[in-house]
Structure 1
Amino acid sequence: MHKIIIVGGGLAGSLAAIYLARRGHDVHVIEKRADPLQEPPANADPISSRAIGVSMTVRGIKAVLAAGISMQELSQCGEPVVGMAFSIRGQYKVRELHPLEGLFPLSLNRNAFQRLLNQYAARHQVKYSFEHKCLDVDLERKTVLVQGPDGVVQHLHGDLIIGADGAHSAVRRAMQSGMRRFEFKQSFFRHGYKTMVLPNAEALGFRKDLLYFFGMDSKGVFAGRAATIPDGSISFAICLPYVGAPSLNTQDREVMAGFFGRYFGNLPPASRAELLDQFMALPSNDLINVRSSTFHYKGHVLLIGDSAHATAPFLGQGMNMALEDVQVFVGLLEKHGNALELALPEFTRQRKVQADAMQEMAIANYEVLSNPNFLFFLQARYTRYMHQRFPRVYPPDMAEKLYFTSVPYAELQQIQKKQNVWYKLGRVN
C-alpha cells in the first residue's frame, strides 16, 4: 500500500481520499481552508458563507456511490432535477428531461456535500491538515513543502502526490517548472460571475426540480443560472463581462438596478433589492480555461479535476468530471495492482481525450448562451423530434445523455457534431 499526499481537500480531493483510504492506502490531505466540520467563526460573512448550488449529473452520482456513500445521504445534500427552464422576456420555456438509468441529477448544496465527504473521510482515518498551504512540490523526491497557520514550514514525503488544488494549482505549477516539454495554456472568458442567494425559492415562484437559465434574450449581455438547494434557498450565478454597463465592475447602483429589473422582473421588489445589495458587495470570480499536455509525472505526481482541466461552468460538468477522474484513477490503480508507473500514464491517455472534448463542448455552449438566437430552441426541438421518429438514424438528444448517463465526453461530442450536420441538412431540405 502507498502513502499518498493529496493537495487540496475540496470535493475531488476528499472523494479521492475516501476511495484510496478504503483500499488501505495511507492518505494525508493538505487543505488551505478551515475544517468544514467545525462551526464557522462568529465573524463569518453571512452572504459569502451561504451554500452555493452546483449540479451533479449521473456520472458524478455514480462516482460518489462507488466510494461507498449511500444514495440516501447524498440525496439529503441536493434536490432532484427533472428539467430546465429558460427565461425569455419574463416567461419560462420549460424542457422536461427523462431519466435513462434510473437516476436524476441533483441540485446540490455544495457545502453540505463537502461536509458529507469529510465525514466519510474521517470514518476511514484520512488525515487532514487544515489551514495548511502548499508552497512547492519536489517532483523527483515526491515531497510537498507545506506551511501551517503558525507559519511553520515542513516537508512531507509520500509515494504519490495528487494535485486536487484547483485551477491555480501549486502542484501543476511545480510540473510546469520541473518537467521538460510540459505544455500549459490558460485563458479567461470575457465573462466572470458572482453568486447570490435568496431564501424561500418556492415563495418566489421557483420549482425546486428545475434548473433555471437567464439571459437567452439579452443578446449576449449576460448569462445566468439559478437552482434551489435543500434548505429551500435559491442560488443565482450571474455571468457578466468585466467591461461595459452592466458589468461585474459596474459601481452605479441605478444601472444594476435597471439590469435586475429588466431580467428578473418577476421577483418582488424586495428580492431584487436583496440581489442588488449582494451583487454590489460581493467580489467577482473569473471563468478560466486550463489545458495541460499531461496529467502526470512519472509514477510520482497526478493531477485531477480543475488542476488538470478547469473550464467554465457553461456545460455544468467541471465537478462531475473531477469526481469521475477519481473513480477512473482508482480503477486503473486496481487494474495495475497499485503499480503507479503504469496507472498514471494510462490515466493521462484516457482522461486527456475526455477533458479536451468536455472543454470544447463547454466553450461551444458558452458561445450559444452568450450570443443566443431563436434557432437555439428550434434546433433543440428538431433534434428531439427527429430522434423519436428515426432512432436508428438520427443521433439521440445530447443534453439528456449529458445529464442522465456517464457516456464518455468524447462520444457525446461526436453526437453533438452529428446533430449539427443533420440539423443543417434538415434546414436545407
Structure 2
Amino acid sequence: MQQPKRICRAVVVGAGPAGLLAAINLLRRSSDEVEYHVTLVETGEDYGVLDAAGLEKKRSWMIGLSTHGLTALRAVPGLYEDYVSQVGVPIESTAIYLGKTMIEAGAEDVGENYVVDRNFIVAALARYLNDNFRRSGRLTLRYQSKVLFVDPDEKRIFEEYLPYDLLIGADGVRSAVRAALVANERAFECSVADIFTNFKSLHLHLPAAVAEKKVVVLPQCLKGINGACRSARRRPPLGIGLPETGGKINLAFGYMLDTPCDEALHSQDASDAEVVAAYFKAPFKPFELDWAEVARVWVGQPWSQTGQVHCSFYHSLKLQLLILGDAAHATSPSIGPPRSIALPRRSHAVLPAFSEERVKEGNALTEVAFHAYSMSPHQQLLVTLSQLLRGALSKRVPFGLVAPDPLTEVGKGAKLSHAYDELTRIGRLPAVRAVNEAARRRHFELRTGMALGGGFVCIITQFLHALAAEPAGVLPWGLTIGLPLPATGLLNPESRPGGPKGLVRYPTALGLLGQLLGISLVFPALWLPTPAFCKGRGAVRAACGYPSIGLPAAFLSLSGGGALRPNSPTRRPRALSRAYAAAAALAFVGYTANLCLAGLAFGSPRAAVGALWAEAPPAVAFMSIDAGVLFLGRAAPPLSFGRDALRDAAGVRRDGPGCRLLLHLASTSPAEALAALLASPLVGPGAACALMLSRREARLGEAAAGEAAGAGETKKLA
C-alpha cells in the first residue's frame, strides 16, 4: 500500500531574487515522499504581472551576476534561457577610464558576467513562478503583506497566523525572520551596518562612445564626489556604468561617509538642474553625456544607502527556519546569489550542514566585497597596480608560477572562501581591512560625539555634531558666540581689584568646569565647533571657517591673567575702553558674517526664522533659545557680596560677571542698557553691549583723570 505524501508547509518571507528562487526550488523539490506547499509573503507588489511599460517605471539599481549567480539560475530548466536572459545584458568587456584614457579587458580576463536591474530580475523570476506553479494548488501568494512576528513556540507568524513546517527568511537587511533568531538563539551573533557609502543610480540614454555590452569604471571622475582634488586625505571618487536594456546605461556615483561630497551635489531642487549640469560637465572627461538629462535625473533622486550583514549561522532547528540572501549576508550585489538553495527532504538533518557551508561563503562574500577596495587613495593605487601586475604575469610566466588575482578568479567561479584565504595569505585583505575599519571607527567617533576635531571630548560634542548637520545650525551658534566673545573674555577685568573669596576668584576656570558639565554651550568650545561646522551641510566653507578658530584668543588675551590667577592688576579705564571698542568691531564683523550666511542658506528672512524656530530640529531650537538667554545675560556665581562689593575709582559698583550683562549696564546707566538693547538688531548683541561698556569705561577714565588732576591741584596748594 502506497504511503501518503508528507506535506511540508514552507513559508518564504520576501519576494526578492533569493526568496523567489527559494520558492521555485522548493516547489520543484516535491517527490513521492514529500510535497512542498509554499506561501510567499511580500510587502510590495507582484512584479510578475507587470507589462513592459509598467516594468519600465520600476527601474531601480543594477546587480551583477557572475558564475555563482548564473549557476544557480541555470540549475532550473528554462529559467535563465526563457525568462532572465530577456531582461538583462551579458557583458563582453570592461573598461577603466583614467580621464580620457581607456584601459579595456575582455570577458576572457574577468569571466562571465551578466548585469540586470534588480526589479527586472525579480519580475522574471515572479513570471516563471506564476507560469509554472500558480495553478498547481501548492503556491499561495501573499503580496502587500508584512511579517510582524515569528512565534517561537507554535511556529507561526502573527498577525494572521500562518502555520509552517519550514520558514525561509529572504526579507532583506532589516529581516523580521532574522529577528526571531536573535530573540531565540543565544549563540546567534549578527551585525548590521551600512557599506559606508551614499550613492545615486542614474538611468540615462547610452552615450555613443560606450558599447552596448560594456561595463565602464570611472575612478576620480568628479571632483565633488568624495572631495577629489580638494585635499590629499580625501577618498577617491568612484563611478561605475552598467549597460541596461532599451539602449540605456545605469551610471552610479558614490562618496564615503567620512568625506561628504560638495554641497552643490546635495540639491534636490529642479531649479538647480543647470548648476548641477555645469558642475558635472567641467571635470567629467571619459565621454560625452546629455548633461541636461544627467542633472534632471540627479536632482530628482535622493541619496541611497545599502546595508551589510554578518551572521554566525543561518538556521534554527528549534524554529525550523533558514535565512537567505540579504537577510543572511547583505553586501555589494556584484558576486551574485548562492549556487543553489534547494533543500533536501530531511530539513532537520540538513539545515545545520547547509548553514555551515553557506556561512563560510556568505561571510567571505561580505568581507571580500567590503575590503576589495581601500578607503586610502594611496593604498588603493598600490592594490590596483598589484592586481594588474599579477594578471599580466599569470598569463606570461609559465608553469603557473604566478597565480591569477583572487578577485579575478571569483568572477570565473572560484569559491569566495578560497579567494578570502588567498587574499589573507598575501596580506592584502588584512592591510585594507585595517585602513577601512580605522576610517569607519573615526567617523563613528565623530558622528556620535565620542571625539571632536583633534580628539577633545566633552558632554556637548554630540550636540555640536547634531547642530552642524543642520543647514541652520551655524546661525544660532553664531548669534550665541557673538555675545560671549566680548562678554566672557572682557568681563574678567571687572573682577580683578580684589575682595572675592574661594573658587569664584577664577571666573574663567569656573566657567570652563561648568561648560564641561553641560550647563550651557558658550565658552569651552569657542574654537572646537568650527571644524564641525565646516564639514556640515550649511553655508560655511572650510576656507572661511578655519581662520575664525583663532579669534577668541584676541578677546581672552584682554583679560590678562584673570583666567589663570586671581587678583591680577586692573587695566586702566582708557585702555579697557579701547579694548571694548575693538571687541565691538570684531563682534560686528561676526554678526554681519552670520547675516550673510543666513542669506546664502535661506532665500528670505521668513525662511531663516522658520529654520531657526518654527521648523527647527531640537538642536537648533535649543541653540536659538540659548542665544536669546545669553543676550539677556550670562549666568555665573557672584564674585562679591556685602561689604566686599567691588567699586571703581568713581565709586560705581562693579559686580563683574556675576551680574547679568544688561543688568550690569543698567546698574551703571539705564539709558545705555536700553540703547544696547535697541542697537542689537543693527550691530549685533555683542557689539551693542561692548560699545556701551566702552562708553562707560571712557567716562570712568575721564572721571579718574579729573580726580587725579584735582588731587594734583590740591597737593600744589598744600
Q: TM-score range by the shorter chain?
A: 0.7 to 0.9
Q: Choose 19-28 or 75-84, whichever is displaced more.
A: 75-84
Give the partner amino acid of 2:23.
A
Indicate which of 261, 264, 267 corresponds to 2:281.
261
Does 2:309 correspond to 1:290?
A: yes
Indicate which of 215, 233, 237 corresponds to 2:252.
237
1:259, CA displacement in angstroms? 4.8
| Partner residue in 1 for 2:162 | 156
1:63, CA displacement in angstroms? 0.4
SS of equivalent to 1:180: coil
| Partner residue in 2 for 1:107 | 115
Rounded Cα–Cα distance in structure 2 between residues aligned with 1:343 and 1:247: 53
Aligned in 2, Cα 1:131/1:109: closer, same or farther, shift over 3 Å? Answer: same
Aligned in 2, Cα 1:352/1:45: closer, same or farther, shift over 3 Å? Answer: closer
SS of equivalent to 2:48: coil
Indicate which of 145, 157, 164 corresponds to 1:144.
157
Indicate which of 377, 387, 395 corresponds to 2:403.
395
| Partner residue in 2 for 1:33 | 44
Contact 1:227 1:236 in 2 (8 A): yes
Q: Deviations over 1:102-159 (max 9, x none)?
A: x8311223333222211221212332111111111123322122xxxxxxx4111110
SS of equivalent to 2:95: strand
Does 2:371 correspond to 1:361?
A: no
Rounded Cα–Cα distance in structure 1 between residues aligned with 2:407 and 2:85: 22
Contact 1:241 1:248 in 2 (8 A): no
| Partner residue in 2 for 1:408 | 415
Contact 2:92 2:107 in 1 (8 A): yes
Q: Which has the higher contact order (CA 8 A, sep 6+)?
A: 1
| Partner residue in 2 for 1:148 | none
Rounded Cα–Cα distance in structure 2 between residues aligned with 1:360 and 1:248: 33
Does 2:147 correspond to 1:127?
A: no
Aligned in 2, Cα 1:31/1:414: closer, same or farther, shift over 3 Å? Answer: same
Rounded Cα–Cα distance in structure 2 between residues aligned with 1:356 and 1:263: 38
| Partner residue in 1 for 2:66 | 57
Q: Deviations over 1:183-228 (max 9, x none)?
A: 22122233122211012x1x43211222111224646242221111
Rounded Cα–Cα distance in structure 2 between residues aligned with 1:391 and 1:20: 45
Rounded Cα–Cα distance in structure 2 between residues aligned with 1:171 and 1:248: 41
Aligned in 2, Cα 1:374/1:176: closer, same or farther, shift over 3 Å? Answer: closer
Q: Deviations over 1:31-90 (max 9, x none)?
A: 111111334899x898x7225422111111110011223443232222221332112113
| Partner residue in 1 for 2:76 | 67
Where does 1:190-229 land on structure 2 (aligned, <5 Å)?
A: 190-199=196-205, 201=206, 203-216=207-220, 218=228, 220-229=235-244
Give the partner amino acid of 2:188.
F
SS of equivalent to 2:181: helix
Rounded Cα–Cα distance in structure 2 between residues aligned with 1:136 and 1:420: 43
**Residue-pair matches, total:** 394
Greater helix proportion: 2
1:373, CA displacement in angstroms? 4.9
Does 2:34 correspond to 1:14?
A: no
SS of equivalent to 1:134: coil
Q: Choose 91-100 or 168-177, whichever is displaced more.
A: 91-100
| Partner residue in 1 for 2:679 | none
Rounded Cα–Cα distance in structure 1 between residues aligned with 2:19 and 2:357: 19
Q: Choose 389-398 or 284-293, whichever is displaced more.
A: 389-398
Contact 2:235 2:376 in 1 (8 A): yes
Indicate which of 327, 351, 354 corresponds to 1:347.
354
Q: Choose 250-259 or 179-188, whichever is displaced more.
A: 250-259
Does 2:292 correspond to 1:273?
A: yes
Rounded Cα–Cα distance in structure 2 between residues aligned with 1:396 and 1:417: 15
| Partner residue in 2 for 1:149 | none
Aligned in 2, Cα 1:310/1:70: closer, same or farther, shift over 3 Å? Answer: closer
SS of equivalent to 2:266: coil
Which runs of no fewer than 5 residues in structure 1 stay unpaired? 146-152, 425-429
Rounded Cα–Cα distance in structure 1 between residues aligned with 2:283 and 2:12: 43
SS of equivalent to 1:67: coil
Contact 2:64 2:114 in 1 (8 A): yes
Give the partner amino acid of 1:207.
A
| Partner residue in 1 for 2:392 | 385
> Normalised by the size of structure 1, how large is the TM-score?
0.82
1:256, CA displacement in angstroms? 4.4
Q: Choose 366-375 or 224-233, whichever is displaced more.
A: 366-375
Rounded Cα–Cα distance in structure 2 between residues aligned with 1:289 and 1:110: 17
| Partner residue in 2 for 1:91 | 101
Rounded Cα–Cα distance in structure 2 between residues aligned with 1:140 and 1:285: 38
Give the partner amino acid of 1:362.
A
Aligned in 2, Cα 1:79/1:297: closer, same or farther, shift over 3 Å? Answer: same
1:165, CA displacement in angstroms? 0.5
Greater strand proportion: 1
Indicate which of 185, 189, 193 corresponds to 2:191.
185
Rounded Cα–Cα distance in structure 2 between residues aligned with 1:182 and 1:55: 30
Aligned in 2, Cα 1:225/1:311: closer, same or farther, shift over 3 Å? Answer: same
Give the partner amino acid of 1:117.
L
Contact 1:215 1:369 in 2 (8 A): no
Rounded Cα–Cα distance in structure 2 between residues aligned with 1:231 and 1:197: 11
Rounded Cα–Cα distance in structure 1 between residues aligned with 2:386 and 2:379: 12
Rounded Cα–Cα distance in structure 2 between residues aligned with 1:214 and 1:89: 8
> Normalised by the size of structure 2, how large is the TM-score?
0.51
SS of equivalent to 1:154: coil
Rounded Cα–Cα distance in structure 2 between residues aligned with 1:294 and 1:129: 28
Tell me the C-alpha RMSD between the 2 structures.
3.0
Aligned in 2, Cα 1:305/1:370: closer, same or farther, shift over 3 Å? Answer: farther
SS of equivalent to 1:213: strand
Contact 2:166 2:321 in 1 (8 A): yes
Q: Deviations over 1:266-320 (max 9, x none)?
A: 5546x2222222222212222322112221111611100110111245xx12xx1
Rounded Cα–Cα distance in structure 2 between residues aligned with 1:175 and 1:276: 44
Give the partner amino acid of 1:97.
A
Rounded Cα–Cα distance in structure 2 between residues aligned with 1:91 and 1:83: 16
Give the partner amino acid of 1:273.
A
Which runs of no fewer than 5 residues in structure 2 stay unpaired? 1-6, 31-35, 222-227, 229-233, 432-718
Contact 2:394 2:403 in 1 (8 A): yes
| Partner residue in 2 for 1:427 | none
